[in-house]
Amino acid sequence: MMGRLTPPVSERDHVMGAAEARVTLVEYGDYECSYCGEAYTIIQAVRQRLGGQVRFVFRNFPLSELHPHARLAAYAAEAAAMQGRFWEMHDLLYENQESLEPDDLIGYAELLGLDVEQFDRDAGSRAVAERVRSDCLGGSRAGVSGTPTFFINGQRYDGNWAVRPLFGALEAAIAEADSQEQWR
């Protein structure tokens, strides 16, 4: 069904925030996409303002035909995840979007104190490639064709994702969750 998040958020996802948060914001993103780079700073501001009321989920959607380094960057994030450092690598990739060559990715792994040989093996592994492919397939099934694409509580958000409109949409979702909770 277009406009609905598929698959739903699960333990396989990269999640920042509490499972009991009022709102779940899912982003399908591409580490080389300049719009995703802008969204990265907006998401940080929104998370800071809304704190524990929102949990954030990131899924890979590299647009390799437009961004030649996006897939390798996604592999790097997933390889870092295998050593428990997904979010740190995620942040480094967005903060250094102009430097996503293979040597840069190895340098980020070193900076994070990862086992670099293991990171390199994992980044080239079938498991990591399958993880990125799975995110992409799920996004395609949900109607994702560009990045960033957001879902708020499982529904595609097609509004403006600048700070104020996105913050407003998330506040409305929080209010809706609160009112539904009241009637239980």
What is the spatial distance between Cα 50 and Cα 46, in angstroms, rounded to a whole number? 6
Closest CA to 61 of 148, 162, 153: 148
Average model confidence (pLDDT) across the chain: 94
| Domain annotation covers residue 4 | no
Give pLDDT tens digits for 148-159.
Answer: 999 999 999 999
| Domain annotation covers residue 172 | yes
Tell me, what amino acid is at 44? Q
H-helix or E-strand containing 74? Answer: helix 70-81
User: Which pLDDT band holds residue 181 (cuts at 50, 70, 90)?
Assistant: low
Domain, as residue range, for 157: 14-182
Averaged pLDDT for residues 59-75: 97
| Domain annotation covers residue 57 | yes
| Domain annotation covers residue 161 | yes
Give pLDDT tens digits for 13-38.
Answer: 999 999 899 999 999 999 999 999 99
Its pTM stands at 0.94
| Domain annotation covers residue 83 | yes
